[in-house]
Structure 1
Amino acid sequence: MPHHLMNLRHVPDDEADEIRALFEEHEVRYYETPPSRWGISMGGFWVQDADEAARAKALLDDYQRQRFQSQRQAYEQGLARGEIGGIGSMFRRYPLRTLAACLAIAAIAAISLLPFVRIG
């Protein structure tokens, strides 16, 4: 019976490539189903054997722990350099684009709420 190891929906290409390389390096006999374009099927990495699934899940747990730490470190370095931040930093770096996005959000919200405001 197939064992689902990991969902591939919203997984960056570099992460999926690293997982494929990890499985190849450790000779995990896996197969892959791609996610559908419309979000109907999730896609993912699968194995047939329960023992292989346990081994692959252990490898994935270690990999995801390491990836979390490296991505967290990169995020904190970006914050320290001022490259990553909230709306304030976006407004300082790209004032026109941020203002245009805020106006577009306000316009969409106003159009969406207009029927409900007229009811009252």
Structure 2
Amino acid sequence: MARLLFKLAQVPDDEAQEIRNLLDEHQIAYYETDAGLFRVGLDAIWLADGSREEEARKLLGDYQSERAARQQQNYAQLVEAGQAPNLWQHFCAQPLRFIGLVIAIIFVAGLTLLPFVMPALQA
């Protein structure tokens, strides 16, 4: 019976390819599904045979630990070199999106605090 191994939603292409290579290297049978035209389905990697699920999950866990350490090291190097993106660079890259997110945050915070502020305003 097929078993879900890894969801591919918002996963970088290089990470997805490294996972495919890892499974191929250990000769673990898998297949992929995509969400389809209307994005109703699930982008994922599935194990064709659930009998090797434990082995595949251990390999995936080890890979993710190694990748996390590698990415943290890369980020530390960017920060050290002064190349890590800061808030101003995010704003400059996509100003409309940034402003929209700030407005959305203020709106949600206002709605959340409204029940607490209304009694104080009525008094």
Name the CA shift for 1:37/1:69 in 2 (closer, same or farther; >3 Å): farther
Structure 1 unmatched ranges of 5 or more: 92-96, 114-120
Give me the identity figure in percent: 34
Report the Cα offset of residue 86 of structure 1: 2.1
SS of the residue aligned with 2:24? helix
Report the Cα offset of residue 98 of structure 1: 2.3
Deviations 1:15-71 (A, max 9, x none): 111111111110001111123455422221111333211111111001001000000
Structure 2 unmatched ranges of 5 or more: 108-123
Please tell me the root mean square deviation across aligned C-alpha atoms, in Å.
Answer: 3.1
Q: Of the candidates 80, 92, 95, which is equivalent to residue 98 of structure 1?
A: 92
Between the aligned partners of 1:39 and 1:59, the Cα distance in structure 2 is 29
* Corresponding position of 1:58: 58
TM-score, normalization by structure 1: 0.72
SS of the residue aligned with 2:46? strand
Residue 2 of structure 1 contacts residue 47 of structure 1 at CA under 8 Å; is this kept in 2? Answer: yes
Between the aligned partners of 2:73 and 2:59, the Cα distance in structure 1 is 21
TM-score, normalization by structure 2: 0.70
Tell which deviates more after alignment, 37-46 or 58-67.
37-46
Report the Cα offset of residue 105 of structure 1: 1.2
Equivalent residue letter for 1:26 = H
Shift >4 Å, 4+ stretches: none
SS of the residue aligned with 1:40? coil
Between the aligned partners of 2:94 and 2:22, the Cα distance in structure 1 is 43
